[in-house]
Amino acid sequence: MANVADRSERSYDIVLFGATGFTGGLTAHYLAEHAPTGCRWALAGRNPGKLEEVRASLGEDFADLPLLQADSTDPESLGAIARDARVVISTVGPYLLYGEPLVRACAEAGTDYVDLTGEPEFVDRMYLEHHETAVKSGARLVHACGFDSVPHDLGAYFTVKQLDTSSPVRIRGVVRSNGTFSGGTFHSAMTAMSRMRQMSATFAKRRKAEGKPAGRSVRAISGKPGRDRDLGFWLLPMPTIDPQIVVRSAAALPAYGKDFGYSHFAGLKTLRYTVGSMVVVPGLAVAAQVPPVRRALMSRIQPGEGPSEARRAKTWFTVDFVGTAAGEKVHTRVSGGDPGYGETAKMLAESALCLAFDENPPTAGQVTTVVAMGDALLERLQAAGIRFDVC
């Protein structure tokens, strides 16, 4: 296994794998603008011509930026970039189909890894298959470093810091946005919904292997549709990966208290939209079970596609958190711009920069953003324009 101390001798601080995709390109541009002077980084992907196009789009200052050829179907090429980097960013999804070889390479090489997956089955499989290897090698495997699930994970953490955790803590997160899905996100979601049985089985295996925190109660609470009297929105439970990530942070850190519960919702202004969403989402889940229908839907939006810059500039998100403990209630909010693209690229890149350059809590294995980076990432994102407010 790799020695963590040897990582300082590697050629690159950060390697971005999947730079030719839509979100990968945005992440490359963010690194070009915000990586500190002296940061040694490179672009990686399977198509040298497209990598050259991405590099050219960054401007003349990056004409010598290294380009590395690697393919998710070629473990040897992935091993090479993992051994030569301190941190690897992956934007290549759906991760269930393409993600595991790079996670394995990073776990074995002692290389920190970040991605933007929102696929619960993938995250659980990677825990079962590679967590122990990463613990031994010193690698930090940090999934869900985009809109899934940074605002929710750090937002819940920020909220907990405002509460008295000596008594039971209850937090609900309520997400609102006017954004649209990317092609990659849609493909990942449809793939995940087509594998509900496998996802449940993998989750159960992980839960058994992981165990429960000793002497503490930490759980995700299933919410019900209804009106939120504190926020004024109609609530619709969201079956996303975000509650799982929040609860795993809480299970790992005693700072969340001995009794912690989290529930997660979409917030809608009107009952009509709430009822409509209650029909559409289950409808997509049913369609995902029928291969010809699933393929037809997925063919309409291809990975790598996304909205125009003008459309993204008009897009926003908020995540409101209402927390209660010791008879007190606190309302916090995380807010920013385009969640699915610009802000996701920002969160992903800042997570990699944080792992590469900041002083973070000592940890290894598959960990959440809060466990791996905590206050350091919170400060980075606030400096980058994502707001964390007590309302």
User: Can you give the CATH number for the domain in which 26 is found?
Assistant: 3.40.50.720
Residue 15 within a domain: yes
Q: How many domains does the chain have?
A: 2
Residue 47 within a domain: yes
Residue 51 within a domain: yes
Characterize the bridge pairing of strands 387-390 and 328-336: antiparallel
Cβ(353)–Cβ(35) below 8 Å: yes
What is the tens place of the pLDDT at every residue in 248-257?
A: 999 999 999 9
Residue 292 within a domain: yes
Residue 234 within a domain: yes
Q: Which helix (H) or strand (E) holds 366?
A: strand 365-366
3-state helix, strand, coil in the chain (%, to 5): 45, 20, 30
Please list, in sequence order, all residues whose beta carbon lies within 8 angstroms of the beta carbon of residue 102, skipping any fewer than 6 positions away. Answer: 17, 72, 78, 82, 88, 90, 92, 113
Residue 137 within a domain: yes
pLDDT score recorded for residue 192: 64
Cα distances (angstroms) measured from residue 97 to each of 121, 208, 231, 251:
11, 25, 39, 29
Listing DSSP states for 28-79 in one string gives HHHHHHHSPTT--EEEEES-HHHHHHHHHHT-GGGTT--EEE--TT-HHHHH
Indicate whether 220 and 310 sit together in one domain.
Answer: yes
106 pLDDT higher than 90: yes
What is the tens place of the pLDDT at every residue in 172-188?
A: 999 998 866 555 555 55
Cα distances (angstroms) measured from residue 165 to each of 160, 171, 230, 372:
7, 12, 21, 21
Indicate whether 37 and 166 sit together in one domain.
Answer: no
Indicate whether 274 and 371 sit together in one domain.
Answer: no
Indicate whether 70 and 211 sit together in one domain.
Answer: no
Among the listed residues 92, 237, 91, 249, the one whose alpha carbon sits nearest the alpha carbon of residue 156:
249
Indicate whether 175 and 305 sit together in one domain.
Answer: yes
pLDDT score recorded for residue 5: 46
Cβ(173)–Cβ(263) below 8 Å: yes
Indicate whether 119 and 264 sit together in one domain.
Answer: no
Indicate whether 260 and 319 sit together in one domain.
Answer: yes
Indicate whether 353 and 382 sit together in one domain.
Answer: yes
| One-letter amino acid of 308 | S
Task: Please state, rounded to an integer, the average pLDDT across all residues of the chain.
Answer: 89
pTM greater than the 0.85 cutoff: yes
Indicate whether 301 and 160 sit together in one domain.
Answer: yes
4 pLDDT higher than 60: no
- Max Cα-Cα span within the chain: 60
Cβ(188)–Cβ(117) below 8 Å: yes
Full residue range of the structural domain in which residue 90 is found: 4-146+342-386
Indicate whether 12 and 142 sit together in one domain.
Answer: yes
Indicate whether 113 and 86 sit together in one domain.
Answer: yes
Question: Which range among 142-151, 213-222, 281-290, 344-353 shows the weakest confidence by mean pLDDT?
Answer: 281-290
Residue 391 within a domain: no
Indicate whether 185 and 309 sit together in one domain.
Answer: yes
Phi (first) and psi of residue 325, to 5 degrees: -170, 145
Residue 92 within a domain: yes
Question: What proportion of the chain, given as a percentage, has pLDDT over 70?
Answer: 84
